[in-house]
Amino acid sequence: MSVLTRDEAQTRAQLLDVHRYTIALDLTTGDDTFDSRTLITFTTGAAADTFIEIKPAELRSVTLDGHPLDPASLDGTRFPLPNLTAGDHELRVDAAMRYSRTGEGMHRFTDPTDGETYLYTQLAMDDCKQVFPAFDQPDLKAVFDVSVKAPESWTVLANGVTSYLPDEDRWQAAPTPPISTYLVAVAAGPWHSVRTEHRGLPFGIHCRRSLAPHLDADAGELFEVTRQCFDRFHEKFEEPYPFDSYDQAFVPEFNASAMENPGLVTFRDEFVYRSAVTDTERQTRAMVVAHEMAHMWFGDLVTLRWWDDIWLNESFAEYMGYQICAEATRFTDTWTDFGVARKPWGYDADQRPSTHPVAPEGVEDTASAMLNFDGISYAKGASALRQLVAWLGEKDFLAGINTHFARHRFANATLADFIDSLASATERDVHAWADSWLRTTGVDTLTPVLTPGENGVRTLTVDHTGSRPHRIAAGLYDLDLGDNEGHLTLRERLHLDVPQHAPLPIGKRPALLLLNDRDLTYAKIRFDPDSYDTVRKNLSGLPDPLTRAVVWNALRDAVRDGELPPAAYLEAARTHLPRETDLAVVQAVLAFAAAQVADRLLPAGERPAALATLSALCRDLLRRTEDGDNPGLRLIAVRHFIDVAAHPDTIAAWLADGTVPGGPELDPDLRWRVLARLAVLGAADERAIAAESQRDPSATGREGAARCRAALPDADAKARAWDALFATDTAGDLSNYLFTATAQGFWQPEQADLLQQYVPRYFQDAVALAARRGPAMADAAGRHAFPLYAVDAEAVRLGEECLRDAEPVPALRRRLADQLDDLARALRVRRH
C-alpha cells in the first residue's frame, strides 16, 4: 500500500484548493460493505497531474467534470487525475467500501449482549480512504456535507448537528466549517443518548444500549466535567468554541483512548464503567474529556500543516488536559497522576532506539508519522510545555496561544508559526528554548552536589548531564522524629536555573534535598547519599503527593538504569506504600513492582519471593481499609492481590463466595480477573470459563473468556490460542480487541517452559500478520503479543535477526525495536 510523502503533500497543496465534500453513505447494504458516493469540488491553480486516495471493495464509477474515467485506473489506493486544467472541477465517485474489524476506517461491531450493531469512523491518520475518496492530507481543509442512510431504528451522529429527513429516508448532518479530512466523523447505531444544553449549544453523550444503565449512572458527572472544562477553556481562550454542538460517543473496540473529531469526540467505551473503579480512574476519564476538548482549538480550529508537528496537537492537549482538570474540576491533584503514570511513558520512550525530538524534522511520510503518536509526543511534549510555562509565566504563554488562534483560525500552522506567536508575547528567547527542548532527544539527569562551607553553611550546585536549560525547585526537607513517625517538613523551596552560574547557599544540611520538587521539568533525578538514606527510611513522611511522585520516579529510573537493585525498590514499596494516601501513587508503584520488577527485572528464581512480598503488601492495604473508609485503595489492593497470587486458595474462595471478606463484592471485572489468574495457576478449566461466559455474555465477558482460555497452562490451549492470533484464515480473523485479549492471556512468566517453542515462531508469524492486517494490528502484535517474559539473549538475537532480515512493516518494526531494547535492559539489570 502506498503512503503519502511530505513532498507529494506539499506539491498537491500548492496545486489544489479543495472547497467541499458532499458525501452520501448507505449503511443498509449488508454486513460486509457499505455504499459511499462522493462529490468533491476543488480548484487547481495550474495545469497538472494529481491523484486522490480511495481503498474500495468495488470502484463503480469515477466522473471528472462530467466525463467518466476508467475505474481500472486505480493503482493500489491512488486514483490518478491526469491532465487537470487550471480552474474549477467536480469529481464524483461511486464505490462500495469494506467495514473494518480493526478499529480503522468504518469499524463494525455487533454487541453479543443483545445482537445490536454499531458503526463508527476512525480516520486518523490516513484512513479516510476506507470510507470516502479524499485528497487526504491535513492542510487541504474543506467543508464536509455528510448524509447517511441507516436502518430504521438507528441514530446517526456526525461532526455537525444531525437531523432525520423522513421524506428522503436519510440523516443529514449540518455542514462543517473547514476541517481536515482525518477529522471527519460518523457514528451510527441504536445509541442510547443523554442530551442537555450548555451556553446555547447542544451537548450529548452516547453509548450502546447494553451499557445504558451505566452511562445513566455517570451522566451527571460526565456533563459536570464537560461543562466545567468548557467554561474554563473559555476563560483562557479568546476564540469561542468553533463548532455547532458537542457530542461525546463511547464506542466499542476503539484503538485509542479517544479521538478529537470536532463536534463528535469518540471515546473507548471502557470509560462507561460497568464495574467499580477508583477515583483516580474517574480522574483519568475527566482528563481525557479535557484533553479532547483542548483539541477543538489546538488541532481542529488550528491544524498542523504536516505530521512532523503532531506534538502541536498532542503535547498541547496533554498539558491542557491535566491543567484544566486541576483548575476546573474536583480532581485537583492531576499532576501527581501525570508524574507517576504518564511521565514514565515519556522517559522510557526517550531512552529507546526509536526516540525522536518532540518536534522531529524528518517525518517523510504518513507511515513514519503514525509511529510518533507515543510517549514523546504526549508525555514529554506536555512536560516541555509545563517547563515553558514555568519559565515564561502563564500570562505570556496564554497571550501567545491566543495570538496563534487568531492568526491561523480554520487554517494550518507549523512549529515556526507557533513559536512566532509565543515570541510576540514575551521578550524571552523562545526560539532558543524551542531549539534546546523540541529539537533534541534523550533525558537529562540532575544530581545535587552539596559542598560544606564555614559555620556549617552548605552550598548547592547541580551536576547536569544533558543539554537543556531547566527552571526547577529544590526542596529542602528536615526530619521530624518527635512523634516517631519520621515526618519530613519542608524548610524551604529554592528556585534555580540549571545550568547554574554560582553555588546556591542553603544553610545547614537538610535531611533530604530533592531536585525538581513539584515536578516542573522533564529530567531524571538522582539523590546524594544522605538524601537517599532519608528516602529509604522516610519516603512516606513527605507531606505532598506530588513530591512523593518525584521520589518514586527517581527510584524507578534508578532501577531501570541499573543503579538501584530491583529488590531495593520492592523493599521501599513494602515499607512505604502501606502509609501512602494518594491512589495514583499506590497504583503506579504496585504496577511497576509487579509487571516490571517481579516479572522481568528480577531473575526467575527470585520471582516467588517478590510475589510473596507484594502479596503481603496488598494484605497490609486490605487490613488498612477494613473499615470501608477508602474503597478506592481497597479496590487497588484487591486487584493487585489477585494479579500476584502465587497460590489459588484465597482468590478461588473469593470467586466461590462472590465477594472479598469485608468487601467488595466481585463485579464482572473482578470475577474475570480472578478467573484469569486461576487459569494461569492451573486452577481453572474450560468448564469454569464457559460458566463465567454464560454469567457475563457481554463484549467484555467475551474478551475475558478469550484471555482466560489463552492463559491455560495446557499445550492444546496454547496451540488453539496461537492459531486464533496468527492463522491466515481471514474469515476467522479476531477483531482488534479479541486479538489483544488473547495475546494478553498467552504469555505468562509462570509458563516459560511451555511457551519456549513459541518465541521463535512469534518473530515469523507476527511479521506475516502485520503485513496482512495493517498498521493497527501490527501495533497490537508488537505491543501485546510480544514474548515479554523471554528475558534471555536468545530472544534478543531472534528479534534482531527479524529486524535485519524479515522486513517487518514500519508499525511492527518500531514496536519490535522498542521491545527488544527493553529486553536487553532487563538482561543488564539482571546481570548487575
List residues with catalytic annotation: 292
260 contacts 299 by C-beta, under 8 angstroms: yes
Distance, in Å, from the CA atom of 313 to the CA atom of 327, rounded to the nearest integer, reads 21
Q: Which residues contact 757 (CB under 8 A, 6 or more apart)?
A: none
Cell numbers placing 307:
505530521
How do strand 258-259 and strand 264-268 relate by DSSP bridges? antiparallel
Chain CA centroid to CA 515, Å = 28
DSSP H or E segment with residue 293: helix 279-295
Type of residue at 270: E
Chain CA centroid to CA 809, Å = 21
Radius of gyration of the chain (CA): 27
Q: Which residues contact 804 (CB under 8 A, 6 or more apart)?
A: none
Cell numbers placing 274:
460497568
Nearest to 193 by CA among 172, 163, 219: 219
- CA torsion sign, 146 to 151 to 155 to 157? negative
Q: In what order do the strands lie in the sheet with 258-259?
A: 192-198, 201-207, 246-251, 264-268, 258-259
How do strand 445-452 and strand 524-525 relate by DSSP bridges? parallel
Cell numbers placing 539:
519516603
State the DSSP string of 332-363.
Answer: TTHHHHIIIIIHHHHHHHTTSTT---SS-S--
Q: 3-state class of 105 per DSSP?
A: strand
Please confirm whether the linkage preceding 125 is cis (ω < 30° from 0). yes
Chain CA centroid to CA 447, Å = 31
Q: At what angle do helices 810-831 and 545-560 cross, to 10 degrees?
A: 90
Q: Which residues contact 226 (CB under 8 A, 6 or more apart)?
A: 198, 203, 246, 248, 289, 293
How far is the first Cα of the chain from the last one, in angstroms, to the nearest whole number?
Answer: 45
Q: Which residue has the cell 536549560?
A: 469
Type of residue at 587: Q
Distance, in Å, from the CA atom of 613 to the CA atom of 238, rounded to the nearest integer, reads 54
Count of H helices and E strands in the chain? 28, 28
Type of residue at 473: A
Distance, in Å, from the CA atom of 793 to the CA atom of 827, rounded to the nearest integer, reads 8
DSSP H or E segment with residue 172: strand 170-173
Measured CA distances, 632 to 277, 523, 660 (Å): 7, 31, 14
* Per-residue H/E/C for 453-482: CHHHCEEEEEEEECCCCEEEEEEEEEEECC
Burial call 149-183: b when 16+ CB within 10 Å, e when fewer: bbeeebbbbbbbbbeeeeeeebbbbbebbbbbbbb
